[in-house]
Amino acid sequence: MVGKMTEKIGHIAKDLFKKGFWKLGLFFAFIGPGIITSNVDNDAGGITTYSLAGAQYGLSLIWILIPITVALIIIQEMCARMGVVSGKGLSDLIRERFGAKITFYLMIILLLANLGNTLCEFAGIAASMEIFGVSKYISVPTGAFFVWWLVVKGNYKSVEKAFLLACVFYLSYVISGFLVNPNWSEIKTAAITPNLQFDSGMLTMAIGIIGTTIAPWMQFYLQSSIVDKGLKAESYKYARMDVIFGSITVNVVAFFIIMLCAVTLFQNGLKIETAKDAALALAPLAGSYASLLFAFGLLNASLFAASILPLSTAYTICEAFGWEASLNTKFIEAPQFYGLYSLMIFLGAGIILLPNVPLIAIMYYSQVINGILLPFVLIFMLLLINDKRIMGNFVNSRLMNIVSWATVVILNGLSVAMVVSAFF
């Protein structure tokens, strides 16, 4: 499957070169949703998890990014296909196919999970700005206002441009990766050598990496934004490229974060607990540029996700209940949409500013809720994508079904394992 994918990507790349640059321009006109969705994966929680993985286990978990990339592509591709073919968001389809009851509870759980995640993003803003010496009482309200203003005052095009710009800033991690001058051949070996000891800490970390990369909200967001962008079945191949490209870049960034922490913190035996610790610990080992770039990357990721997560929640819930939801509307035309968006930001930023917030517990439980939610979302997706009435000729092929069911079974097994371990 991996071989086939890389072959396909190679093919696409060749195609692009052959047909000249206008074709490339066309590609850039259709990209956005996939790249944005994938990159938001590397949010504050993601960066923390990758830093911890690198700092605690060195390069030994880095191989896991390759199967994650494949799984991400398989799942996101199905979302993109459903969005393009049906013209409806995922929660839209779930409501119409599975009824009000299931949808209602699903939305409540999703709202809680996303609120927990949003909180983590604002914590990320606070932490990264503290590295630059800015108090959270300034950075969090400013950040909250900025992301609110961006979406409420913008339209799809302007918001997408801002988000794509944020994606570019992830390069800061790649640059810091090169700044530390790592031993590339050692990294290459580690990346292609699967290595998993059955010690509970390492297993939990592996599940954590997968959980933070493949989250329930992403499937909803990707499909909604494809619908909002107005992509049609004819442009489906560009949407697919967008998804593949996005899934690869996100894991490249993850790769550099793990690698960076592995060759510096792990090799010097430094223990860290948060992404902020990682950024601070990097300064003496990798130079202050690497440290500041790391902190800047964290700020960018947190801001970016603090906007996308509430946006995703608003899209998803409005679709489920049939309210108008589009970035191309005014506040007054879609009051529930913008209301939910504003509320999520207000709550997310507000709770962080309260004294003595049990942040670690909130992060932990939002991960658990995500773990509970993911199996349902993935199974609904598979049922929907095989529904002829919705997908017509675009239903999964037999091969795709085998691959996707296998992926979903593995992911669900891991989610269940995580939820069970959380309770015992």
Partner 1 sequence: MAINHEPQVFLFLSRILGKKIVGAEGKVLGRVYDLTAEFVEPYPVVTGLVFSSAQKRNPVFLPWKDVVDLARDVSVAINSTRELSTLNLRQGELLLREDLLDKQVVDTDGAKIRRVNDLQFLKTSHGLHLVHVDVGFRGLIRRVGLIKPFDAILQSLFDYKLPNQLISWKFVQPLHSLDLLRLNITQNRLGQIHPADLADILEDLDIRQRGAVFKALDVETAAETLEETDPKIQVSLINDLNTAEASDIIEEMSLSEAADLLGDLPKAKAEGILKEMEKEIADDVKELLTHPEREAGGMMTTSYLSFRPSTTVGEALEKFRQEAEDIDLVYYVYVTDEEDLLLGVISLRDLILADADKRLEEIMDDRVISVKLDDKDDTIAEHFAKYAVTAIPVVDENDRMQGTILFRNLLDVVAPHLGK
| Footprint of partner 1 (CB under 8 A) | 92, 95-96, 99-101, 104-105, 318, 321-325, 333
> From the CB of 114, what's the least distance to partner 1, in Å?
20
Q: How far apart are CA 121 and CA 115, in angstroms?
A: 10
Q: Which is nearer to partner 1, 100 or 406 (CB)?
A: 100
Instruction: Identify the CA nearest to 215 among candidates 56, 422, 40.
Output: 40
CA dist 365 and 212 (Å) reads 13
Q: Which is nearer to partner 1, 86 or 212 (CB)?
A: 86
What is the C-alpha to C-alpha distance for residues 331 and 333, in angstroms, rounded to an integer? 6
Tokens representing 376 are 């349902």
Find the shortest distance in angstroms from Cβ 322 to partner 1.
Answer: 3
The distance of closest approach from Cβ of residue 315 to partner 1 in the complex, given in angstroms and rounded to an integer, is 12
- Closer to partner 1 at the Cβ: 199 or 324? 324
- Least distance in Å: CB of 398 to partner 1? 25
In the complex, the smallest distance separating the C-beta of residue 106 from partner 1, rounded to whole angstroms, is 11
Which of 156, 323 has the CB closer to partner 1? 323
Phi, psi values for residue 41, rounded to 5°:
-55, -40
Q: Measured between alpha carbons, how far is 141 from 143 in angstroms, rounded to an integer? A: 5
Distance CA 214, CA 212 (A): 6
User: Do the Cβ atoms of 43 and 120 come closer than 8 Å?
Assistant: yes
Q: How far apart are CA 43 and CA 412, in angstroms?
A: 22
DSSP line for 308-347: HHHHHHHHHHHHHHT----TTS-TTTSHHHHHHHHHHHHH
Tell me whether residue 230 or residue 322 sits nearer to partner 1 (CB atom): 322
Q: Of 249 and 312, which has the nearer Cβ to partner 1?
A: 312
Closest distance between partner 1 and the C-beta of residue 148, in Å?
23
